[in-house]
Structure 1
Amino acid sequence: MGYTLKTWKILFAAFVLVFFSGLAQAADPLPSWNDGDVKRSIVDFVSRTTSEGGPDFIPVSERIAVFDNDGTLWAEKPMYFQLFFALDRVRELAPEHPEWKTREPFASLLKGDMETAAKGGMKSLLEVVMATHAGMTSAEFEARVKQWIATARHPQTKMPYTAMVYQPMLELLAYMRANGFKTFIVSGGGIEFMRPWSEAVYGIPPEQVVGSSIKTKFEMRDGKPVIIREAELGFIDDKEGKPVGINLHIGRRPVAAFGNSDGDLQMLQYTMAGEGARFALLVRHTDGGREFAYDKGAEKAQAEAAKSGWAVVDMKNDWKTVYPETK
């Protein structure tokens, strides 16, 4: 008995659905990663932990993945990008603050000595941001960040800072979210600096950003309720502070963590100390041609990665490309 035209259409539609579903499954979720041990370890972890009924299965509610920002999701040389943001404000306010000529890190910033200015790490960064942006409302600060991030350019590459994100890591974020993982930024950088643009750049909404902060307070201004930034450090989300920030803001121990420096070591250790399947990855900056080559500040993390068998990205060999292609 022959098929009717309607039946043939149904069968054809079913074939198309199965065919393209197969193509989707076969498509490489990480096309900017070279085939190798690191890429295989990522795909293996995601496959094992999302296979229901398997020994390493992780329920969706527990699929928490945390990512450092500076040096892990975007570049961080010659100094943290947030410090460049603060530098513009330092120059603007310098005439009102003659004491900055002899006070670090302001003195080095004004001289253009970025290496010395960056030596103070996240604490110095927060002190500069605190001194240059205290007294304004959180909304005013957000507007400044959005304006700066839309127009500022990196001093060496001349690229917008948001174009200096790592394409392989963008793919990794999307791959993990497609498999039910909730992705968080856990960074030593300022939480209010990252939140205005994290969703547009990384697909990570502001409520999933954990970072350092200065103290704020509630106030009525012109009859309107606002949040005011104060000239006092609140919380430094770096090193030992990262697990504390995770516990405070997320409330679950992550099952996967991604970093690049000693500032991420405790976050990676905290993640890997949990029960069940776990994954830790360290980005190693080995590509002086396409990015920046350096190991300073990551010695302890690299030693722990070698000792504990964490995945280590060799940027030069593991990534086909570094930054997204611009049209």
Structure 2
Amino acid sequence: MRLRCAVLDDYQRVATGIADWSPVTDRVEVTSFDGHFVDEDALAAALAAFDIVVTLRERVPFPASLLARLPRLKLLVASGMRNSVIDYAAAKAHGVTVCGTPSSSTPPVEVTWALLLGLARGIVTEHEAVRSGGPWQSTVGADLHGRRLGLLGLGKIGARVAQVGLAFGMRVGAWSQNLTKERAEEVGVELAPSKEELLAGSDFVSVHLALGDRTRGLVGAAELALLKPTAFLVNTSRSAIVDQEALLAALHAGRIAGAGIDVFDVEPLPADHPMRSAPRLLATPHLGYVSRSNYATYYGAAVEDIEAYLAGSPVRLLG
């Protein structure tokens, strides 16, 4: 009898076609779920009959309480080599092997710039007007050349965002709690003296930090109040870095020109979530890592992980 493998959150229904699963299909039956399970009870019921689970990024938490309800589960594969929503100790206690995959080859730099440019030039508003017969040229675009781009975080992703900003002729500054002058100079950007100065002096602010105790709620009501009324905020990192209630209040009050958001406190967003109707908001459904090449990498490596596990030599172990 073949083992059963569940692929979670395959929204686009591409998991079984974008990678070659033939090395394991003689021993593994693969089932793809194109919807999201909204609570632990539904997830536990759906996965009760599966031996292997493949999950993308950090879309689905695997706490101890869930792992205890999946006695058949033996292998959990998560994309990337870091995952903050899996209880590794509980997985080990329940005999579950946890494996990762190579990291994304195209991190969310492109989506960051899609949001930033869309905001700056009112792309969605103007597109909808053209298609519906609405007013011709109702917005006045914000220039990028000569304006300041402020980056919260200058790691791998932040540095690549910075390079694009420099190519546009922007002045680029960056700040994070551990950022050094040497690192800023290496990337070719200014080191902001403080978070407050970066926010107050930037025309566009983009978040590129990992979520942790020091960054959770890093941008709250006080920080948003420092932004110029003409400034735009972009977050393609983690939603909890920016206080969602404070951001909604700033958008509704018109205290900032707009925000581009790809990450949310609840995903998928419920139909009545206030982010769906907030003014001055350009929102995308967490598309940062959703690309053909990334999916091919993730699912192709998941097949490798499963094959190695079946051979008794697991690879890319996490935990």
Same-fold status (TM-score > 0.5): no
TM-score (normalised: structure 2) = 0.34
TM-score (normalised: structure 1) = 0.33
Largest Rg, 1 or 2: 1
* Structure in which a larger fraction of residues adopt helix: 1
